[in-house]
Amino acid sequence: MRLFIAVNFDQEMKESLIDAIGRLRAVSSKGNFTRAANLHLTLAFIGETDRIDDISAVMTDAAAQTPAFDISLGEQGHFRRGSGDIRWVGIGEGASELSELSSRLTSGLIAVGFDVDRRFTPHITLGREVSAPRRADTAPQPAKSRVDKVSLMRSDRVNGALKYTEIFSAPLI
């Protein structure tokens, strides 16, 4: 299974992001835009494995050390790629808490033998391979979401589209 640990959003946050994706799509000549059902914030990408028990234990331990907190949407940005930019929205309020949580998860995963990237920049991908004016105003409306759990997500390709399914969650304190 292809797995990652993520924060999923409440409806207010999703609606703001869906609106921003729509505005980005409207000014783009091309792009692969994130589907509403797949909006999330990745805390740790794990990759192909069936070691769900080990991952669940790491998540439970990290969550037990982390109080619930709020996040808000921040600045928009892009990562330049030859085939088109990755367009994203950063996190304003709660970015340091997300970084701490990601660090706990990453350290725990490494301790049990997973090869995961320690670098973490909290962001939400709006689209990949996007060709649009870089200064286009596609920033989302202000929104907040409560982070009160972390989710282990499975990524599957169904009829050519990615589908993310929560297979475990650990509540924060």
Give which of 24, 41, 30, 150 is closest to 76, Cα–Cα.
24
More confidently predicted of 33 and 134: 33
For residues 21-48, give the mean pLDDT.
96
The predicted pLDDT at position 138 comes to 85
The pairing of strands 30-33 and 149-158 is unpaired
Q: What percent of the chain has pLDDT over 70?
A: 100
The predicted pLDDT at position 60 comes to 98
The predicted pLDDT at position 134 comes to 75
The end-to-end CA distance of the chain, in Å, is 28
Give which of 60, 90, 27, 93 is closest to 172, Cα–Cα.
60
Query: Which contacts qualify for 20-26: CB closer than 8 Å, 24 or more apart?
Result: 20/76, 20/89, 20/126, 20/138, 20/139, 20/140, 20/141, 21/126, 21/127, 23/136, 23/137, 23/138, 24/87, 24/126, 24/127, 24/130, 24/132, 24/136, 24/138, 25/127
Distance CA 74, CA 128 (A): 19
Instruction: Spell out the residues 6+ positions from residue 116 whose beta carbon is closer than 8 angstroms to its own.
Output: 44, 45, 46, 106, 109, 110
pTM for the structure as a whole: 0.93
Three-class DSSP category at 126? strand
Q: Domain 2-171: which topology?
A: Cyclic Phosphodiesterase; Chain: A, (3.90.1140)
More confidently predicted of 119 and 13: 13
Kindly report, residue by residue over 133-153, the tens digit of the pLDDT: 877 778 899 999 999 999 999
Kindly report, residue by residue over 94-136, the tens digit of the pLDDT: 999 999 999 999 999 999 999 998 888 889 999 999 999 877 7
Structure tokens of 51?
């070691």
Predicted confidence (pLDDT) at residue 170 exceeds the cutoff of 90: yes
The predicted pLDDT at position 81 comes to 84
Confidence of residue 15 (pLDDT cuts 50, 70, 90): very high
Confidence of residue 80 (pLDDT cuts 50, 70, 90): confident
